[in-house]
Amino acid sequence: MGYEPGASMNTARLRAFDPGESVLVGIYEISKLLASPNRLEKTLAGVLALLSSFLDMRHGLIALLDAQGEPEIVVGSGWSEINAETYFRRLPERAVGQIVATKMPLVVENVAASPMFEGSDIAEWGPTDGTPFSLIGVPIKDGDVVVGTLTIDRVHSAHWSIRFDHDVRFLTMIANLVGQTLRLHQLIARDRQRLMQEKARIEKGDRPAHAEQKFDGIKGIVGNSPAIRSVVEKIRIVAKAKSTVLLRGESGTGKELFAAAIHNLSPRHAKPFVKLNCAALPESVLESELFGHERGAFTGAAALRKGRFELADGGTLFLDEIGDITPAFQAKLLRVLQEGEFERVGGARTIKADIRFVCATNRNLEEAVQSGAFRADLYYRISVVPIFLPPLRERKGDLAELANEFLRRFNAEQNAHLSLSESATAVLGECRFPGNIRELENCVVRTATLARGQAIVDKDFSCRNDGCLSSVLWNGSREHAIGSPSVMPQPLVSKPVGAETPVAIGSDRRSERGQLIEAMEQAGWVKAKAARLLGLTPRQIAYALQKHAIPVKRF
């Protein structure tokens, strides 16, 4: 007897199939049902209804377990919202417990005579007429973890022992299909939750920022210096257009904050703002993150996944550290920028996306283009509107305001009431903060954490206690100011409080020894005073004296 896909088949017709053909038909029908976009409970109830057409069963139950192994969803034949609670009472808990513990199928030929069910009330989940019945149960797995059980019962017969093996194999295959469906539902639920959270952040205007104050209508930007005002004016202008923006600046200058400001002020502000740090991922993962992938595109690709390009459709995509991507990936990215289309990894369908690109880098892209490390055509595509973000040393007028904002956030998080004294503000004014806003925030938080009083004073700072590792890291740096190829960083030492004229030790080893001796002479050969003149720590002075073999004079 043949079978027409999609046709309605009654039990008599199904039993006319030989067992092998019946199994194939059953798997086919149930796989179609599991692929339908219905609510999970209704889909599982439909699976049990189909099983009754292929097996000699009276009742069936599917129990899905939570992370603690407790039943979370129980669905039976004929399930509905009204009778859902009934199936929890029918759940054979001892059978479920053994299946979960052993991760193996369970067959009980006569439940009433089984010691495992001695003393239990089986009236709720067996035949209601007192007829002896058998029970078959199989685990539903996600990998090696049991996430549920599938159990059926049937009228007991001493002649059906051979059928048990056949039915266990069939139910195990169905349980595997259900397990795969559950995994797909979980993945979809996680993606939906992530997108809903992103949408909520967009609607609330909750953008990542170093501070939450408003400046001239732009949320999150703190400061009133000429340097920051110039950047804000440019952002107001370019935000209205669709042109690609390239944010240039040293690490820690707040590129993500300004990228979010561009999006919030643009006509796309109601659409997604999607971000990705290109330097944080290897090329293979980066490609999947941006382009997405089809199911089975590579090992571990169990389901279709949309990439950041699709998620950002209609909105803004922020590509941070774009100067760190490989030449091979540069070519793939160039096509999206030029044509606005791409294919998922492992897919053949071309997808179009309307995206406004904002890129950022702390590298000297001009030198990278000259050396061949960065494609010239990609450089011209992303550098349509370059905006240079000023380092903190060029925003001295903003330093106190930023520091107070970071301390306000610390107080809110820790339920504290700390404040910055004048001497503390003076200490902050001495430092050049080569790590920029990020370093300033760390300095304020570190000092506030270790402060002994309600008012932070100069002695609370680690640089006043020989513990500032940042000064050791950055002292004498002669690298180009990143993102502004023609500018060199200024010396890291500035005039300390109460000092007349500071003496800076540069990276030129020929003059360093002379500068050190001059500072020691001026300080009367007291290391602590010489350290304040040079903007260093006493430990650094001691190391420099030892390195240059300068004997310390005693008076």
Express each pLDDT in 375-406 by its tens digit.
Answer: 999 999 999 999 999 998 888 888 889 999 99
CA distance 51 to 56: 9
What's the rounded mean pLDDT across residues 368-376? 91
The CA-based angle 183-185-187, given to 5 degrees, is 70
Higher pLDDT, 88 or 347: 347
The confidence band for 470, taking pLDDT boundaries of 50, 70 and 90, is: low
Predicted confidence at residue 344, as pLDDT, reads 85
Given a cut of 60, whether residue 428 has pLDDT beyond it is yes
The confidence band for 427, taking pLDDT boundaries of 50, 70 and 90, is: confident
Given a cut of 50, whether residue 168 has pLDDT beyond it is yes
What's the rounded mean pLDDT across residues 472-485? 44
What's the rounded mean pLDDT across residues 100-107? 90
Predicted confidence at residue 489, as pLDDT, reads 36
CA distance 451 to 448: 5
Domain ranges of the chain: 11-188, 232-389, 391-492, 495-555
What's the rounded mean pLDDT across residues 518-545? 81
232-389 has CATH 1.20.120.160 classification: no
Given a cut of 70, whether residue 275 has pLDDT beyond it is yes
Which residues fall within 8 angstroms of residue 178, CB to CB, at 6 or more apart? 34, 44, 47, 62, 140, 148, 150
What's the rounded mean pLDDT across residues 197-204? 69
* CA-CA-CA-CA dihedral for 464, 467, 471, 475, to nearest 10: 110
Predicted confidence at residue 9, as pLDDT, reads 43
Q: Which fold has domain 391-492?
A: Helicase, Ruva Protein; domain 3 (1.10.8)
CATH top-level class for 495-555?
A: mainly alpha
Q: Is the dihedral of CA 486, 382, 250, 212 positive or negative?
A: positive
Higher pLDDT, 380 or 466: 380
- Specify whether the CB–CB gap between 43 and 181 falls below 8 A: yes
Structure tokens at 367: 């030198």
Pick 11-188's CATH classification: 3.30.70.260, 3.30.450.40, 3.50.50.60, 1.10.760.10.
Answer: 3.30.450.40
Given a cut of 90, whether residue 259 has pLDDT beyond it is yes
What's the rounded mean pLDDT across residues 284-290? 84
Predicted confidence at residue 126, as pLDDT, reads 61
The confidence band for 475, taking pLDDT boundaries of 50, 70 and 90, is: low
* CA-CA-CA-CA dihedral for 360, 366, 367, 369, to nearest 10: 90
Given a cut of 70, whether residue 125 has pLDDT beyond it is no
Q: Which of these ranges, 38-47, 194-203, 448-457, 543-552, has the smallest mean pLDDT? A: 194-203
**Whole-model pTM above 0.95?**
no
The confidence band for 461, taking pLDDT boundaries of 50, 70 and 90, is: confident
Predicted confidence at residue 507, as pLDDT, reads 41
Given a cut of 90, whether residue 463 has pLDDT beyond it is no
Given a cut of 50, whether residue 217 has pLDDT beyond it is no
Predicted confidence at residue 494, as pLDDT, reads 34
